[in-house]
Amino acid sequence: MSAKDADTNAGNRFTHFDADGNAVMVDVSAKETTARTATAQGRVVMQRDTLLKIKEGGFKKGDVLAVAQLAGIMAAKKTPDLIPLCHPLALSSVKVNLTLNEADSAVEIEATCKITGQTGVEMEALTAVSAAALTVYDMCKAVDKGMVIDAIQLMHKAGGKSGEYRADRPAGGRS
Amino acid sequence: MSAKDADTNAGNRFTHFDADGNAVMVDVSAKETTARTATAQGRVVMQRDTLLKIKEGGFKKGDVLAVAQLAGIMAAKKTPDLIPLCHPLALSSVKVNLTLNEADSAVEIEATCKITGQTGVEMEALTAVSAAALTVYDMCKAVDKGMVIDAIQLMHKAGGKSGEYRADRPAGGRS
Amino acid sequence: MSAKDADTNAGNRFTHFDADGNAVMVDVSAKETTARTATAQGRVVMQRDTLLKIKEGGFKKGDVLAVAQLAGIMAAKKTPDLIPLCHPLALSSVKVNLTLNEADSAVEIEATCKITGQTGVEMEALTAVSAAALTVYDMCKAVDKGMVIDAIQLMHKAGGKSGEYRADRPAGGRS
Amino acid sequence: MSAKDADTNAGNRFTHFDADGNAVMVDVSAKETTARTATAQGRVVMQRDTLLKIKEGGFKKGDVLAVAQLAGIMAAKKTPDLIPLCHPLALSSVKVNLTLNEADSAVEIEATCKITGQTGVEMEALTAVSAAALTVYDMCKAVDKGMVIDAIQLMHKAGGKSGEYRADRPAGGRS
Amino acid sequence: MSAKDADTNAGNRFTHFDADGNAVMVDVSAKETTARTATAQGRVVMQRDTLLKIKEGGFKKGDVLAVAQLAGIMAAKKTPDLIPLCHPLALSSVKVNLTLNEADSAVEIEATCKITGQTGVEMEALTAVSAAALTVYDMCKAVDKGMVIDAIQLMHKAGGKSGEYRADRPAGGRS
Amino acid sequence: MSAKDADTNAGNRFTHFDADGNAVMVDVSAKETTARTATAQGRVVMQRDTLLKIKEGGFKKGDVLAVAQLAGIMAAKKTPDLIPLCHPLALSSVKVNLTLNEADSAVEIEATCKITGQTGVEMEALTAVSAAALTVYDMCKAVDKGMVIDAIQLMHKAGGKSGEYRADRPAGGRS
């Protein structure tokens, strides 16, 4: 399958299977090397008390977010180990940001990845968000087992033949 | 900090920080070795067309789910690599199940992990669900970039001193 | 050692040792960046009953091959972790194919890897075949411990200064 | 599925699929913890000149074998990363031995793994042999691209309910 | 080699080679399962200005130490991946502590690991210290390339047949 | 933050934090792709008897150094897994050399890494030295627990906007 075909048909079929239905790591060798970026979001919804504990809970407030942020950055680098058909990539930038949304009683997470390469970095951004969310869960689970990881989605993507993508609005009722 | 203290206080503080506020991999060496199990759920909400393509889309229907299922199993084994303060564990069982929920236009994911050990396997079950969800996203993103990974949560947990936990009901409006 | 010397002498000495006999990851920084491809083959010889069980054994025939195929793709990405002196590479394509050879009572495996880079991908293709073969063994060993992994070899290689290579014929008596 | 059922039926079906045909990491939590050992063999068949170069080739003869031996030991520890449905294990011993068989113009490889645990270590021994063989190929490929990795098989297995297994004789015509 | 022999002779030979001089992962299967602990130390010596920047440098002082501490904890889990002949272990506790020694213009690092198992955790504690030190270097190298990682050593070890070990005094002139 | 700013300000602040104090994997996407090299050194100081055992100790002298050298090469490839904010890199060369310094009763280690890329390879060289030193410790600890890993530092760095760096002299009193 040529890269041209892949892009032409991307809108109506799955590119991770070949003509015989076998899973493949898509051949990107004919694709253009361009600057690519992707931003993903997600959140961890929790009890108000848990959120306050993260915010105010003592001499070292913020540490839950700092550990989760680092976990997100490191996970972006492990994406090809986790997602079977992802290409190994030499990421040029990873940023992960966590903020407390008191109105929704949620920790909100945003990750942006960049590369100059032949394939996009959506999965790296989504993986960073997921790992940061799991780490928030891990660190707070002793006080709140009912937390929900929610609304993980691609917000923006640029670079590459398929052009720019921007999500209409965050999922999960976020304003 | 003794394991007894950890369990006693688990309800009102974060166990992943010591008295000085430093992050630690919690000392479980004094905890009892018991049979432990955890089940987590989550889902990927998508366009109806995407779901139908997974279901009916040709000679090899089901493959998206099969690849995602395997990704979930393998990711459970990588949990201590991804979640900074998780203990390395010798899991005795991992099961991941994906089903199509046509009413909600979602792929639903459930993972159950087991161990006979000194610490629980919630994070392994949640990580398996997350990786399976990310893999569904990866395999379908050429036709639907707006998919949302949603409602990842712990459903059930048994074994260990803190006793059994069961979520009231699935998040995300699932019936 | 310059890349030129390395290529000139490649025919009569091992490039993975320097002049003092120390193991090295060969310096490829002066080599040309070109499109490179490599194809490897191998097979798992088993009892006829085992092969039939893979082929006909119930409602989900083919799954052994699907799991092994995915294992092969993922292993290609881990080659630099497994083979001590291999370079870390950003593979642009990995394809793994498994077929049933009933005449020889064997599962046959073929893997093709591609890269645009400074070093070849033979080891990635051979590693993909090996991991797929090991996975076939793992999944069938409950019914047949006597399976033999056989005839793993490089079939074709192109790109780079050393030129094209093509094996005369498959090993192991394959027609 | 109980471990008892698994053992009872192991002779006539694949244990890596559940009743619905989904791949699973088999539940071993009800299995007995016993001392287990497994030995695997394999070989790399090459041109006589390549073998002689390994044997006599200068000031540091033996190094190809030393690097491959270490690669085998390290790969045994990575088995659960490579083989999708293998359990993570705390191996208590790994030994890998490589010898030159001049009569057959082959490097012969043998690996033995041990554990006290609930599941066998066949895959660890086979993976060690495979990685050692791939490393021999990698280190000699500059002088001999036609080498064949051959006759990888389980030779002996002890411990666990299924009892002792011993291969009749090495494959590949080895005396 | 029996575990008894290994312990008897540990004082006068290297246990990582067998009778033929081959590297082995030492067989610990006959060793007793006991509670084991190990503590290691080390430090990063730097310019006074660099140390002050870590200490006072703005709105988020302490973050260099927090990132390095987490890196140390995660690296302890990767020890069997890094040190070729180390056993894979299920650590029950990892603690890493970093403090500023203004008198010596150094960041001092201490790590303690625990396990209930058949082999010691010295290498895990030393690896945690090394990775934390490397991370301090990484985060500060833009302002000070001349930092020196120094005085990494085992301070204390308990559990197992060889008994307790305690270093006389820290190396590197620390009081 | 633009790459230009990063380089301009590198002398007086930490580049691994953004304007809000969050840890980031620095954005190198605007940096020039150039040939880069870095050399690091370190040593393991030990009892004279331990050094002599490495040097003369029998039929396979030198093996401790050979295993440690390989561990260093493999660890260089794992740098982005170990150091949280390091970029994943496609190294083009890794060389690790260990020599016995009888005068100082130390094993001396030097590692050189190369890449053609957008970021330097200091951390890869320092990580290779650290892992080689840890492996020397691991292999000799049965006879000498008091060994000290010492004087790990960057010796030379070239390529990239910040220009060449050369350490004045080795630390630790080496002549």
Of F35, F77, F92, Cβ closest to residue C80: F77
Tokens of A121: 């970095």
Q: Checking phi first, is residue E87 left (phi over 0); if not, alpha (psi -120 to 50) or beta?
A: beta
Compute the Cα dihedral for E117, E121, E127, E128 and give only its sign: positive
- The Cα-based distances of A153 to A16, A38, A160, B45, E10 in angstroms read 20, 11, 19, 10, 56
Inform me whether the pLDDT recorded for B2 exceeds 70. no
CB count in 10 Å sphere of residue E100: 17
Q: How many CA atoms lie within 13 A of F117 on its CB side?
A: 25
CB count in 10 Å sphere of residue C91: 23
Tokens of A102: 């008191």
- F157-174 burial, b at 16+ Cβ within 10 Å, e below that, comes to bbbbeeeebebeebbbee
Question: What is the per-residue pLDDT across B114-163, written as a single tens digit (0 to 9) for each?
Answer: 999 999 999 999 999 999 999 999 999 999 999 999 999 999 999 988 78
**What pLDDT was estimated at residue A43?**
98
Q: For residues E136 and E99, what is the distance between their CA atoms, to the nearest angstrom?
A: 12
Nearest to F81 by CA among D23, A77, D128, B26: A77
Best residue in F26, F44, F124, F150 for a mutation probing chain E (most E CBs within 10 Å): F150
C81 is catalytic: no
Q: How many CA atoms lie within 13 A of E164 on its CB side?
A: 3
- Give the list of residues 6+ apart from residue B86 with CB closer than 8 angstroms, or none: A138, B25, B79, B80, B123
Q: Note the pTM of the prediction, 2 decimals.
A: 0.92
In DSSP terms, E111 is beta-bridged to E40, E96
Inform me whether the pLDDT recorded for F2 exceeds 90. no
Inform me whether the pLDDT recorded for D78 exceeds 90. yes
**What pLDDT was estimated at residue D59?**
39
- Cβ-defined contact of D67 to F70 (cutoff 8 Å): yes
User: Which band of pLDDT confidence, cut at 50, 70 and 90, is reported for residue E169?
Assistant: low
Inform me whether the pLDDT recorded for C36 exceeds 80. yes
- Give the list of residues 6+ apart from residue B39 with CB closer than 8 angstroms, or none: B110, B111, B112, B125, B154, B155, B156, B157
The amino acid that residue C88 corresponds to is P
Q: What is the DSSP-derived secondary structure letter of residue D106? A: E
Q: For residues C79 and A168, what is the distance between their CA atoms, to the nearest angstrom?
A: 40
Inform me whether the pLDDT recorded for F12 exceeds 50. yes
Minimal CA separation from F91 to chain A, in Å: 11
Neighbours of chain F (3+ CB pairs under 8 A): A, C, D, E
- Cβ-defined contact of D87 to B89 (cutoff 8 Å): no
CATH fold group of domain E34-166: Alpha-Beta Plaits (3.30.70)
Inform me whether the pLDDT recorded for A115 exceeds 90. yes
Q: What is the DSSP-derived secondary structure letter of residue D43? A: E
Compute the Cα dihedral for F112, F115, F121, F124 and give only its sign: negative
Which three-class secondary structure state does DSSP give residue C16?
coil
Chain F positions with Cβ closer than 8 Å to C: 35, 66, 69-70, 73-74, 76-78, 88-97, 114-116
Q: Are F160 and F28 spatial neighbours (Cβ–Cβ below 8 Å)?
A: no
Inform me whether the pLDDT recorded for E83 exceeds 90. yes
- Cβ-defined contact of B25 to E66 (cutoff 8 Å): no
Question: Region E133-154: what's the mean pLDDT?
Answer: 96
Q: For residues E26 and D94, what is the distance between their CA atoms, to the nearest angstrom?
A: 7
Mean residue pLDDT of chain D comes to: 87
Q: For residues A50 and A57, what is the distance between their CA atoms, to the nearest angstrom?
A: 9
Inform me whether the pLDDT recorded for F173 exceeds 70. no
In chain E, pLDDT over 70 holds for what percent of residues?
85
Residues of E in contact with F139 (CB under 8 A): 14, 16, 85
Which of A86-90, A132-136, E69-73, F159-163 is the least confident region?
Answer: F159-163
Q: Which candidate in A5, A49, A63, A138 is catalytic?
A: A138
Which of A85-89, E43-47, E104-108, E158-162 is the least confident region?
Answer: E158-162
Residue D105, H or E segment: none
**What pLDDT was estimated at residue B169?**
67
- The Cα-based distances of C2 to A101, C161, E19, F113, F173 in angstroms read 57, 14, 40, 15, 34
**What pLDDT was estimated at residue F7?**
38
Mean residue pLDDT of chain F comes to: 87
**Dihedral, F137, F140, F141, F145 alpha carbons, nearest 10:** -80
> Which position has the higher pLDDT, F66 or B6?
F66
Q: Given the DSSP bridges, would you call strands F148-158 and C148-158 parallel, antiparallel or unpaired? A: unpaired
Q: For residues A126 and A78, what is the distance between their CA atoms, to the nearest angstrom?
A: 12
Q: For residues C152 and C97, what is the distance between their CA atoms, to the nearest angstrom?
A: 14
CB count in 10 Å sphere of residue F11: 10
DSSP string, B95-109: EEEEEEETTTTEEEE
In chain B, pLDDT over 90 holds for what percent of residues?
71
Question: Region F62-73: what's the mean pLDDT?
Answer: 90
Inform me whether the pLDDT recorded for F93 exceeds 60. yes
- Give the list of residues 6+ apart from residue B50 with CB closer than 8 angstroms, or none: B140, B143, B144, B147
**What pLDDT was estimated at residue E149?**
98
Q: Give the chain B residue nearest A132 (alpha carbons).
A: B83
Which of A52-61, A156-165, D106-115, F164-173 is the least confident region?
Answer: A52-61
Q: Give the chain A residue nearest B123 (alpha carbons).
A: A138
Nearest to A128 by CA among A111, A152, A106, A108: A111
**What pLDDT was estimated at residue F3?**
37
Q: Given the DSSP bridges, would you call strands D148-158 and C148-158 parallel, antiparallel or unpaired? A: antiparallel
**What pLDDT was estimated at residue B63?**
85
Question: Region D18-45: what's the mean pLDDT?
Answer: 90
Nearest to A27 by CA among A15, A36, A13: A15
- Cβ-defined contact of D122 to C140 (cutoff 8 Å): no
Dmax over Cα atoms in chain E, in whole Å?
A: 59
What's the count of helices (H) and strands (E) in chain D, helices before strands? 5, 5
Inform me whether the pLDDT recorded for E161 exceeds 50. yes
Minimal CA separation from E5 to chain D, in Å: 15
- Cβ-defined contact of D146 to C167 (cutoff 8 Å): yes
Cα angle for residues B116, B122, B126 (degrees, 5° grid): 135
User: Which band of pLDDT confidence, cut at 50, 70 and 90, is reported for residue D105?
Assistant: very high
Tokens of B114: 């087991």
Question: Region C81-101: what's the mean pLDDT?
Answer: 95
Q: Are E91 and E57 spatial neighbours (Cβ–Cβ below 8 Å)?
A: no
- The Cα-based distances of A144 to A109, B22, C118 in angstroms read 19, 21, 51
Q: For residues E115 and E125, what is the distance between their CA atoms, to the nearest angstrom?
A: 11
Q: For residues C115 and C91, what is the distance between their CA atoms, to the nearest angstrom?
A: 5
Minimal CA separation from D121 to chain E, in Å: 14
**What pLDDT was estimated at residue A81?**
97
Q: For residues A31 and A7, what is the distance between their CA atoms, to the nearest angstrom?
A: 9
Minimal CA separation from F19 to chain E, in Å: 10
Which three-class secondary structure state does DSSP give residue C117?
strand
Q: Are D54 and D107 spatial neighbours (Cβ–Cβ below 8 Å)?
A: yes
Is F156 annotated as ligand-binding? no
CB count in 10 Å sphere of residue A168: 6
Question: Region F13-39: what's the mean pLDDT?
Answer: 87
Nearest to D111 by CA among D42, D174, D170, D36: D42
Which three-class secondary structure state does DSSP give residue E138?
helix
Dmax over Cα atoms in chain B, in whole Å?
A: 59
**What pLDDT was estimated at residue C123?**
98
Question: Region E91-113: what's the mean pLDDT?
Answer: 96
> Which position has the higher pLDDT, E58 or F148?
F148
Question: What is the per-residue pLDDT across B8-42, written as a single tens digit (0 to 9) for each?
Answer: 344 567 788 887 778 889 999 889 899 999 999 99
Mean residue pLDDT of chain C comes to: 87
H-state helical runs in chain E: 3-9, 48-56, 63-77, 79-82, 122-140
Chain A positions with Cβ closer than 8 Å to E: 63, 66-67, 70, 74
User: Which band of pLDDT confidence, cut at 50, 70 and 90, is reported for residue E171?
Assistant: low
Q: What is the DSSP-derived secondary structure letter of residue C21? A: S
Inform me whether the pLDDT recorded for D68 exceeds 90. yes
Tokens of E125: 């504690």
Q: Which candidate in E5, E18, E63, E138 is catalytic?
A: E138
Tokens of C132: 């797929």
Inform me whether the pLDDT recorded for F8 exceeds 50. no
